[in-house]
């Protein structure tokens, strides 16, 4: 059950359209958090006829200067809400992946097998802008930071620190790794340092001689305890760099803490020339402490649930964090379509059951992938064996149709009388 509300309800708004009127009551869904997960979920829910409002704490939508990979399992879903063309317009189609040792010896090179397995690298800020602009007017409410939530009389009351209080039928916490709604439904996560941190930065591609004909290729170098990843974003205009290094510091779990270029350079002394050229071309860098979390025991309580990083934050090595948030939104839309207010607790539990095993499995694979990229496999045979296993598992993750799985799960749950 939701914890008691601490905030004072100064300006209580009932967000359900036609509650007292003659028109049929429409389920009102409120999403807390206007990041990649929250905004995509709003579009997926709306596409199934639900009435949705998004509350975002920031006064203006901002994203960090970094790239994000939209893997095929997410592209498939974005295509269904008409966004694929726009992703193609802002992004870079991934045309291959090359993995090398720190000295530059080739370990593995792959190319996408078919158009159905296409992935794009995009600039996070450009993706967020696209998702925000796709929202119908009046959907997104900025400057609303959730401070408390409670369930009363079959509805959830959301209290925001600007004094606004909103009643809703369903509350979805898409409020990221430090989720307030997660806390309000009685959960607590314990971030565990992976013992590594990442430096990241963006460089105009034209400044790098080695990247002149990079096309859509992703390049990764792996060496003892660290790795270095580069890929183009913004239609190839910028190169996104992420450099994972060991740390025994309790680094901040922030995406925007400034990093030191001299220290970064020292971390990669003696590495392959493109790595050194890339670091040399950076004007600034940011540090990012990498933390892992165990799967949560549940995501839903009554009429509230979680999605994205609030539900299953994972280490970034598989590039699936955003994709899993997107899958969550589409699954929720299937389970909430046509629901009446009294149905929602069971529907949210069914959503959780459908998603929890998959995201827990992906959290675990992302952790193992980190070990591969940090070259923790001393024996190359063992490394290649894991690599083959990893590529097969990753292929399965990327070939998944979350919406189709949700529809089947919905039918099964209906037949079993559990929703
Ligand atoms: C540098 C970097 C690279 C990554 N690369 C990839 C990749 O290549 N592929 C991939 O799939 N994933 C990647 N990820 C992971 C991915 O970005 C996250 O998993 C994804 O952003 C999660 O989306 P979300 O909407 O759940 O959370 P977020 O993007 O964190 O959004 C949460 C939103 O909630 C808002 N919020 C927080 N608290 C409140 C509150 N109390 N009230 C109201 N609003 C609130 C925040 O302001 C924010 O807008 C990467 C992550 C990082 C940092």
Partners of 224 in beta bridges: none
Checking if the pLDDT of 249 tops 80, the result is: no
Ligand 1 in reach of 316 Cβ (< 6 A)? yes
Q: Is the CB of 318 under 6 A from ligand 1?
A: no
CA 171 to ligand 1 centroid distance, Å: 18
Phi, psi of 102 (to 5 degrees): -60, -25
Mean residue pLDDT of the chain comes to 90
Rounded Cα distance, 341 and 153, in Å: 11
322 compared with 379, residue with greater pLDDT: 322
Rounded Cα distance, 184 and 148, in Å: 7
Tell me: the pLDDT tens digits for 43-66? Answer: 999 999 999 999 999 999 877 778
How far is it, in rounded angstroms, from Cα 401 to Cα 373? 27
A 10 A CB-CB count for 73 gives 21
Task: Give, using CA atoms, the residue closest to atom 9 of ligand 1.
Answer: 319
- Say if strands 170-173 and 304-306 run parallel, antiparallel, or are unpaired: parallel
Nearest alpha carbon to residue 164 among 316, 9, 56: 9
For 11-42, what is each residue's pLDDT tens digit?
444 554 334 434 447 899 999 999 999 999 99
Does residue 306 contact residue 33 with C-beta atoms inside 8 Å? no
- Catalytic annotation, pick one of 231, 268, 351, 400: 231
Range picked from 212-216, 240-244, 255-259, 367-371 for highest mean pLDDT = 240-244
What's the N-to-C CA distance of the chain in angstroms?
19
Q: What is the pLDDT of residue 22?
A: 41
Predicted confidence band at 9 (pLDDT cuts at 50, 70, 90)? Answer: very low
Q: Return the higher-pLDDT residue of 362 and 389.
A: 362
Which of helix, strand or coil describes residue 203? strand
Q: Are 292 and 367 in contact (CB under 8 A)?
A: yes
Ligand 1 within 6 A of CB of 130:
no
| CA 310 to chain CA mean position, Å | 10
Cα–Cα distances in Å, from 150 out to 2, 123, 145, 157? 5, 37, 15, 5
- Alpha-carbon span 287 to 220, nearest angstrom: 19
Q: Return the SS3 of 220.
A: strand
Q: Which residues contact 82 (CB under 8 A, 6 or more apart)?
A: none
pTM: 0.91
Quote the Cα angle for 93-406-50, to 5°: 90
Strand partners, 120: 70, 93
Which tens digits make up the pLDDT trace of 114-143?
666 799 999 999 999 999 999 999 999 999
DSSP 374: T
Answer yes or no: is pLDDT of 190 > 80: yes
Judge if the beta carbon of residue 132 lies within 6 A of ligand 1. no
Residue with CA closest to ligand 1 atom 37: 175
120 has catalytic annotation:
no
Whole-number Å distance between alpha carbons of 341 and 276 = 58
């Amino acid at each position: 059950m939701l914890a008691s509300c601490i905030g004072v309800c100064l300006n209580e708004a009932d967000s359900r359209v036609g509650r007292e009127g003659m028109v049929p009551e429409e389920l009102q869904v409120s999403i807390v958090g206007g990041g990649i997960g929250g905004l995509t979920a709003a579009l997926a829910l709306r596409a199934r006829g639900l009435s949705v409002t998004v509350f975002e704490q920031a006064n203006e939508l901002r994203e960090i200067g970094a790239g994000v990979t939209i893997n095929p399992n997410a592209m498939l879903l974005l295509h269904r809400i008409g966004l694929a063309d726009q992703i193609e317009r802002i992004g870079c189609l991934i045309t291959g992946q090359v993995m090398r040792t720190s000295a530059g010896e080739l370990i593995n090179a792959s190319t996408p097998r078919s158009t159905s397995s296409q992935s794009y690298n995009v600039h996070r800020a450009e993706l967020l802008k696209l998702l925000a602009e796709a929202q119908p007017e009046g959907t997104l409410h900025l400057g609303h930071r959730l401070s408390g939530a409670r369930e009363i009389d079959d509805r959830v009351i959301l209290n925001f620190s600007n004094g606004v209080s909103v009643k809703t039928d369903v509350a979805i916490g898409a409020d990221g790794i430090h989720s307030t709604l997660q806390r309000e439904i009685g959960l607590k996560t314990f971030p565990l340092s992976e013992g590594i941190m990442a430096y990241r930065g963006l460089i105009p591609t034209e400044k790098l001689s080695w990247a002149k004909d990079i096309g859509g290729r992703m390049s990764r170098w792996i060496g003892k305890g660290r790795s270095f990843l580069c890929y183009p974003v913004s239609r190839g205009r910028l190169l996104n760099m992420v450099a994972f290094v060991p740390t025994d510091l309790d680094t901040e779990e922030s995406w925007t803490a400034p990093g030191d270029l001299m220290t970064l350079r020292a971390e990669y002394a003696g590495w392959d020339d493109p790595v050194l050229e890339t670091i040399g071309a950076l004007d600034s860098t940011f540090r990012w402490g990498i933390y892992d979390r165990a799967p949560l025991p549940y995501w839903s309580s009554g009429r509230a649930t979680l999605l994205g990083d609030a539900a299953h934050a994972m280490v970034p090595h598989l590039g699936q964090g955003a994709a899993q948030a997107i899958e969550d939104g589409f699954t929720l839309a299937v389970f909430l379509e046509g629901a009446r207010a009294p149905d929602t607790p069971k529907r949210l539990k069914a959503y959780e059951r459908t998603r929890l095993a998959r995201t827990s499995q992906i959290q675990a694979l992302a952790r193992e992938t980190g070990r591969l990229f940090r070259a923790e496999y001393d024996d190359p045979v063992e490394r290649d064996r894991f690599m083959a296993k990893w590529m097969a598992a990753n292929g399965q993750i990327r070939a998944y149709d979350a919406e189709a799985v949700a529809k089947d799960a919905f039918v099964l749950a209906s037949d079993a009388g559990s929703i």
